[in-house]
Amino acid sequence: MHDGTLLRLVIIPPLLASQLVFVHFVHGDQAMDAHRVTLGRTAGLFIGAAVLRLALFTIFPGLPDLLTGRVEVSTPVTSFKRLQEGLFLYNHNVSPYDGGVYHQSPLFLPLFSLLPSSTTLPIFTYLLYIAVDLLSANALIKIAESGEAGSSRLFTSPRREKRWSGYILAAVFLFNPFTIATCLGRSTSVFTTAAILHAIAKAVQGAPISAMIALSFASYLAMYPLLLLPPLLILCYDRQTANKATKSALAFTAKHFLVVAGVLGALFQMSYLVTGSWEFLSSTYGIQLTLSDLTPNIGLWWYFFVEMFDSFRSFFLAVFWLHLSCYVGGLSIRIRRQPLVVITLLLGIFTIFKPYPSIADVSLFFGLVPLYRHVFPLMRYTFLIAGLIMYASCLGPAFYHLWVYAGSGNANFFYAVTLVWNLGLSLMVCDLTFAVLRDEWEVDRPEMVGKDIRQI
Amino acid sequence: MPRLLSGAHRLRNSPLLLKLPPYLSFLCIIVGVVWLFLLPLDEYSRRTYISENALLPGQVHTYFGGSDQNVFRAFKHEINALADTDANSTVVNDKVAEILEDIGLKTARQRYRYAGQGVQGENIYSVLAAPRGDATEAIVLVASWRNGKGEINRKGVTLLLTLARYFRRWSLWSKDIIFLVTPDSAAGPQAWVDAYHDSHTAGVESLPVKSGALQGALVIDYVKEDRFKSIHIAYDGVNGALPNLDLVNSVVSIAGGQMGMGVGLQEMWTHRDTYRDRLETMLRGMLKQGLGTASGAHSAFIPYHVDAVTLSPYGDGWQDEMAMGRVIEGTFRSLNNLLEKLHQSFFFYLLMSTERFVSIGTYLPSAMLVAVNFTFTSIALWIKSGMPEAEVGKGLEGKRMDKARLGQVERDLFLPLGVVVVVQALGVVPLGLFNATPQQLLAPVFAIFTILNLILPYVLSELLRTYKPTTQQYQLILSFSLLLLGMFLSTLATLNFSLSMMVGLLASPLSFVRPGSRFWAIPLALVSPPVVLGVATAVLKHGSFAAISDVLREAAFGWNVMGMYTPVIVWCVWWPAWVVGSLVVLGRPSTGKAKTA
């Protein structure tokens, strides 16, 4: 890559992205008045998002490959480049996991083998990724339209009137620069995102079995979504349709747990048939559990484990995973009345603390946060959070450039920025938690409405 | 953390804190500038030293001389013959190829063409395979036929050929040596280095012969016909990137210490190591770094992490071409010793004399302070925009605010965000305009643009008035714009300190403008990017306004060929911030009440 071209490409996307943000805000402004989403407008939005992506794919042919190579977009477990490698091995009847490059699910291989090669006829790959993004947006619309964010079975927010329609949410998601970058970078995490959003959408629509199937797919692809099972079960339980509701929580849990286990078992069996061995388990989930690929990413794990003495490695792996999963129980119990909040917060927490995070996870979290438009006025650090995240997204590529290309910086530069980035994200999670809890608290203690509080 | 944050949260209601930001911003700028002027003092700068021990500069005996002088004279004769007939690139290369092949080196050629810039030519080079190496590493010796001023580099090319003959006789090289002759000192080296790293554009041919990773490059710019006194080291790369300080130090140590020549930097022909001279050297260096243009054939190498400098003799003294040759020999022997790339952390420095420098940790805070002042103002405006309108008017005159009435106001973000994003996106227009316009039209286009640019804020502010923006919205527009400016400048400070500092200082009035204060319109117009560009050109080039077309041509060449991003910073960072600032100053807030939450 010519260095200048590279820099130019690094500079241009934020500019374009900023244009896009504008587009969605203009739309948003109009949508403020009308709460009912008409089908035509949604179709227009989807066409707009698809055309924009196609335009970016075709006008800047170098852009997809540039983004695919960025550590912010592609991680070892989602990279499109690695997928190509696995695909090549698979098509030549070699185990895709030979060589230790491919760490993604085996079922991607037959899917991408069906598509024409992405080097000769990339348009089909582009269309697939665009379609997946639109499916995710569609699921988001359904989640928003259900009104679950403002009033669940056990809790109704007094502020729920002030909300954004599904149309705005879809627009925020589709025109989020992070979502666009993920789509252009063809990271396979878009499939996980779509599966998670569908699981939530099905749950709020009162279709618990479908929700469980979607969640199983997400877990199969990326493993960590399995941690969403408890809050999702609660959500499904709360949103059951009255006529065929299971009253007993235990029976409900057992039944749906079996569904997840069954679907996962079937998927594993299919994977076994595709690759001919159980090797994929250690190459996909094993990699995530043991963090054996230390490629830098925007998360907090890699630097820590690069620096660590080998004798402490397994201990800290256990600690890090325990830390990641310990939020599930606590949040599910504390915010029992609003399970969708728990799911949103958990997705934010996973974005910060999972082993291989990328901006794809951020785009999913940012896609769900606007559901809580009604508690935004209660958030206290919006400007700080926006500033931190923007500063980090600006400084990250610059420091990575100094480290890897210019050779005048070092790994500490980039890691320092990822710390700032994760500080921004964790402030956002904290602030959202605060806002949601305060909203609940003001219902319990009406005399405290509008009063300043000192500590959460 | 929560306790700390909620403490900060309560603090922001203090009326005193709200009056502080303009003073704080002003303080940041003043401290930033004073900081810069302190740097040349002995207490803040450091003596240079060689941190890579393997270099051992000046430790070897150099043997270039004696009969090589006769060889030099013979080659000089040939080169003079070419230069006097004003031969074109192909004829020159035929001759150079003939000489190199007589020496026993194979030659290779590369044609290049940058159609948009109307530049073309042909490079010629040959690779001296290392007798003790494995062709995995190489050092480059470059001489361009014409230097940056357009003079023919007679002695430079001759010296390169003589050294090629001389180096070939030695068996001690452990790295390949590449001898490169380019027709000019900008496009030729750029085309060659791009092709060497397989990242060349369509009009540039690939290289038929290559060697290993480039470890360093030395450029000879030797047009002075009679004996010289000192050598000048040019070290600035494109976009303000610098070669490793160890390379500069090695040359200083060899030329100054071993050979007893004077060494000059930044075209300071006399340097008495006083505060004034140090400051001037530093500021010249910063100016060059900030503009980001190439300062010689070596500039093309630096983006590829190849450390490179240009050496050019100056002054009247008693040193001859053999002495110059020995300096190059000594430097090459040092580079030949290297076991790994120069990697010690001196890629960020400001030199104030050949012996003194400041490193990034010492100077970075000044640019960061200037960048941060915008962020302070932005935060202040954000907080202020969240207060009820009546309070803002009176509260700031020092009236104690009643805490109970101090409710938060819901902010309307759509219009401000939209305005900032549109103006930011508009930056693409001048960027494209000045990089795509044919050269002869640049000056008139610039004149028209300058005039339109001064009218633009009035037009935009009228347009904006149709949306009836409130004071709060004007504050938010300015706040977002300054947030972006501060963010871009602090990022830039890590990549190109000087450019960030320059843009930061020129944009600093934007920190003090407030919605509706129309008297700021004139001062702001004076610091608009096109006006500053025009005035700076007139002052720096000592010339008329017409010199602007040269500057713009150079900028377009830098952007299109060398990947120089200074135009992006000017048009997509500074200019949008200026437009938003002027727009806000001219705005007349409508008196519509803001909704309270």
pLDDT along chain B (597 residues), means of 10: 60 69 88 91 86 79 86 89 82 89 90 84 90 86 88 90 90 90 90 90 87 90 89 90 88 87 86 88 90 88 90 89 90 86 76 88 88 88 73 42 48 84 89 83 85 88 83 87 91 89 90 82 86 83 71 84 88 92 83 46
Write the DSSP symbol of residue B319: B
**pLDDT at A17 (0 to 100):** 42
Evaluate if residue A154 carries a pLDDT over 70. Answer: yes
Closest residue in A to B427 (Cα–Cα)? A15
Looking at residues A265-272, what average pLDDT do you find?
94
CA neighbor of B39 nearest in space, from B265, B275, B320, B376: B275
Compute the distance between CA of residue A244 and CA of residue A223 in angstroms, rounded to an integer: 31
- Does residue B563 sit in helix, strand or coil? coil
β-bridge partners, B498: none
A69-94 pLDDT tens trace: 899 999 999 999 999 999 999 999 88
**pLDDT at A23 (0 to 100):** 39
Amino acid sitting at position A361: D
Do the beta carbons of residue B595 and residue B389 sit within 8 Å? no
Do the beta carbons of residue B261 and residue B323 sit within 8 Å? yes
Decide the pairing of beta strands B213-220 and B228-234.
unpaired
| pLDDT-wise least confident of A119-123, A295-299, B348-352, B537-541 | B537-541
Task: With CB atoms and an 8 Å threshold, state whether B241 touches A25.
Answer: no
Compute the distance between CA of residue A400 and CA of residue B19 in angstroms, rounded to an integer: 38
Cβ of residue B491 closer than 8 Å to a chain A Cβ:
yes
CA neighbor of B224 nearest in space, from B155, B270, B157, B160: B155
Q: Could you state, in order of their start, the residue ranges of all structural domains in chain B?
A: 2-40+363-399+412-586, 53-354
CA neighbor of A328 nearest in space, from A230, A237, A192: A230
Q: How confident is the model at residue A2 (pLDDT cuts 50, 70, 90)?
A: very low
ipTM above 0.90, yes or no: no
Which phi-psi region, left, alpha or beta, contains residue B139 (left: φ > 0; alpha: ψ -120 to 50)? beta
**pLDDT at B562 (0 to 100):** 84
**pLDDT at B597 (0 to 100):** 36
Nearest to B494 among A26, A387, A398 (CB): A398
Amino acid sitting at position A168: I
- Does residue B335 sit in helix, strand or coil? helix
Helical ranges in B85-131 per DSSP H: 89-103
**pLDDT at B488 (0 to 100):** 92
Evaluate if residue A199 carries a pLDDT over 90. Answer: yes
- DSSP structure string for B69-80: HHHHHHHHHHHH
Helical ranges in B518-593 per DSSP H: 521-526, 529-540, 547-557, 566-569, 575-586
Mutate which: A402, A408, A433, A439, vs B, most B CBs within 10 A:
A408
Chain A residues inside the 8 Å CB shell of B10: 452
Closest residue in A to B572 (Cα–Cα)? A15
Task: With CB atoms and an 8 Å threshold, state whether B9 touches A5.
Answer: no
Compute the distance between CA of residue A290 and CA of residue A408 in angstroms, rounded to an integer: 31
CATH code linked to domain B53-354: 3.40.630.10
Collect all residues with Cβ–Cβ distance below 8 Å to B100 and sequence separation of at least 6: B107, B124, B126, B161, B164, B179
**pLDDT at A26 (0 to 100):** 40
CA neighbor of B213 nearest in space, from B234, B198, B191, B233: B198
Compute the distance between CA of residue A429 and CA of residue A424 in angstroms, rounded to an integer: 9
Compute the distance between CA of residue B409 and CA of residue B412 in angstroms, rounded to an integer: 9
Closest residue in B to A382 (Cα–Cα)? B382
Do the beta carbons of residue B492 and residue B569 sit within 8 Å? yes
Q: Which residues of B120-135 are buried (b: 16+ CB within 10 A; e: fewer)?
A: bbbbbbbbbebeebee
**pLDDT at B395 (0 to 100):** 42
A208-243 pLDDT tens trace: 999 999 999 999 999 999 999 999 999 999 888 777
Cβ of residue A449 closer than 8 Å to a chain B Cβ:
no
CA neighbor of B362 nearest in space, from B59, B43, B63: B43
Chain A residues inside the 8 Å CB shell of B427: 15
Task: With CB atoms and an 8 Å threshold, state whether A19 touches B427.
Answer: no
Mutate which: B196, B375, B494, B560, vs A, most A CBs within 10 A:
B494
Collect all residues with Cβ–Cβ distance below 8 Å to B13 and sequence separation of at least 6: B401, B403, B406
B55-114 pLDDT tens trace: 888 788 888 888 888 999 999 988 888 888 877 888 888 888 989 998 888 899 999 988
Tokens of B396: 């700031």
